Structure 1
């Protein structure tokens, strides 16, 4: 819901930095993998209880997630680059809740499982919509120029990062926050399915 507004603020500086990195010979895929490594480092720190310290690699990893696209736009966008980016994102999004569960299985296990199932459902609705949108040559740049069609929803990347930051700042409240955020993920996916029904029911194969 907030991604489109956030892109307007962060895209100009990211594009300038992306051009600078491209000029140094750095490739978009390298930025993607560096961002993933930092995200997994943050998850590892959460696992061992370094919640506040994990914020630094977590936030830098998300900056890299936007920066890889800027580097690609300054050089060459590839289908594999877009694929690698979304795969890295989904691994990061799953690793953070898993880290909280591993840190406190008894206290966080049920809520963490609920949240991961919600992420799974929401991710499936997102990728399925993207496949149909590609099939029908639909395009949008509301959330920046992407390799995949990004359908909007109640919860998007910006809200998820804010949620992860809140979890790191208030780790003792993981369970109630996970139950609430997971419920909103289910609502987001359900609304996306209704939107897909409205958009794609009467469309014919191209």
Structure 2
């Protein structure tokens, strides 16, 4: 929801950063790789009880993930860049979940449920993007929903910073993600009617 509706407020900063990185010779795919490395470091930081550093890196990774898309649109988008972007996003999420699961083993069951809800929601998202003939500024149809990347980062941040409430925030994230998957299924039925 926030990615869809609040993007216009941060787009000037994203665009300027994209321009700056292009000026120094970086490509969108290189920034995708940098974003991935930064984001994947979150799990070990969580495990070693460095929550503030993990949250900072998580958001820096997310910011660069938005910047790489702007860079691609300013130059030339690539199908492989899209594959890298979507795959690396999931690995960053996996890193956070694993870091939390190994740091707080009592909540592994809830984190497993969260993982299942993310798999469900992203499966619907990617399948609809693939079979839909709609398109937008991304290289495939971007299906909005209650939980987009920013909402996920907000909930991950609460999970990391407030371990006493980890179970609550994990189950809240699970509920929001499951609702989003169902929401996208209903939208898909409307979009794909007759195809």
Per the shorter chain, which TM-score range?
A: over 0.9
Contact 1:47/1:99 (8 A) holds in 2: yes
How big is each residue's C-alpha offset from its partner over 1:55-93, in whole Å with a ceiling of 9 and x where there is no partner? 221111111101111221232211111111111111112
- The structural deviation recorded for 1:168 is 2.0
- 4+ residue segments displaced more than 6 Å: none
Alignment partner, residue 110 of structure 1:
109
Query: How far, CA to CA, are the matches of 1:109 and 1:187 in structure 2?
Result: 21
2:6 aligned counterpart, secondary structure:
helix
2:79 pairs with 1:89: no
- The structural deviation recorded for 1:13 is 1.6
Q: What is the aligned residue count?
A: 195
Q: Aligned ranges for residues 38-187 of structure 1 at < 5 Å?
A: 38-105=38-105, 107-133=106-132, 136=133, 138-140=134-136, 145-187=137-179
- The structural deviation recorded for 1:41 is 0.8
Q: Which runs of 5+ in 2 are unaligned?
A: none
Query: How far, CA to CA, are the matches of 2:139 and 2:47 in structure 1?
Result: 32
Contact 1:42/1:55 (8 A) holds in 2: yes
- The structural deviation recorded for 1:53 is 2.2
- The structural deviation recorded for 1:50 is 1.3
Alignment partner, residue 30 of structure 1:
30
Q: Which runs of 5+ in 1 are unaligned?
A: none
Q: TM (normalized to structure 2)?
A: 0.95
- The structural deviation recorded for 1:157 is 1.0
TM-align CA RMSD: 1.3
- The structural deviation recorded for 1:186 is 1.0
